[in-house]
Amino acid sequence: MSGHSKWSTIKRKKGANDAKRGAIFTRISKDITIAARESGDDPDMNSALRLAIKKAKSANMPSANIERAIKKGTGELEGFNYESYLYEGYGPDGVAIMMEIMTDNKNRTIPELRHIMSKNGGNLGESGCVNWIFEKKGIVTISKDSIDEDNLLEDCMEFDIEDINSDDDIFYEIEVSPDSFNSFCAHLESKNYSIEAELSLLPQNTVKVKESDSSQTINLLTLLEDHEDVQKVYTNLEIEK
């Protein structure tokens, strides 16, 4: 709704201001890794991977980095045995947090995350403490530049779209079921839309925090996302302006 910002919107704006190439490569590598882990290493059959690779090439990421990120996701990286975990907990103001982790050393990663949480007003919780809040969805974002909304709606009609959000001044955000995700992305690409897309966990209810009180929570989420073993961070934070 107008006057509110969710974490996905905040991250997009933060990313737009991130001029550090190393940070950009790290975030794109994580997108590639998790896409390969979710749906395999074939870009023709995996829209999220195809789009992440396209973004990587646009950012001039070396091919070796792309290949490494894919192999990390599929478990083919020689000399490393990466395992995937889902951890959950709470941030300031009772905000729910879920993290997708990929690590070759759980005994190193978990204490580091616990330290970050405890030093910034949060704590790791027991398995199941917040995952009931979240539901898996496909999320497709399209820049509003040069896009006619009526044409977009018409092009979406043949799919079972669950929601279209245009509250962000820059993007349309379209929500689809995971089963429709790949075919929907391919359909939009065939119509020459420039899209970004991912399979995500969306909160079914949110915790509203005033913008003036949100700095500690934003800092915690940012620190977690910046950890090299954290692939994705999900939260039900909603900031009231």
**Residue 4 CB neighbour total at 10 angstroms:** 14
The answer as to CATH 3.30.70.1020 being correct for domain 83-132+205-240 is no
Structure tokens that stand for 74 in this block = 């599929």
What tens digit of pLDDT does each residue of 113-136 get?
A: 999 999 999 999 999 999 999 999
Contact yes or no for 8/139 (Cβ under 8 A): yes
| Domain 4-74 = CATH 3.30.360.10 | no
Stretch(es) of the chain classified as CATH 1.10.10.200: 4-74
Task: Between 80 and 163, name the one with better pLDDT.
Answer: 163
pLDDT, one tens digit per residue, over 54-71 is 999 988 999 999 999 999
Q: Provide the 10 A C-beta neighbour count for residue 213.
A: 12
| Single pTM value for the model | 0.83
Q: Where in the sequence of the chain do the CATH 3.30.70.980 domains occur?
A: 83-132+205-240, 134-203
Mean pLDDT over each residue of the chain, to the nearest integer: 88
Residues 168-219: tens digit of each pLDDT: 678 889 999 999 999 999 999 999 998 988 899 999 999 999 989 999 999 9
Q: Residue 148: which pLDDT band, with cuts at 50, 70 and 90? A: confident
Instruction: Return the CATH superfamily for domain 134-203.
Output: YebC, transcriptional regulation domain (3.30.70.980)
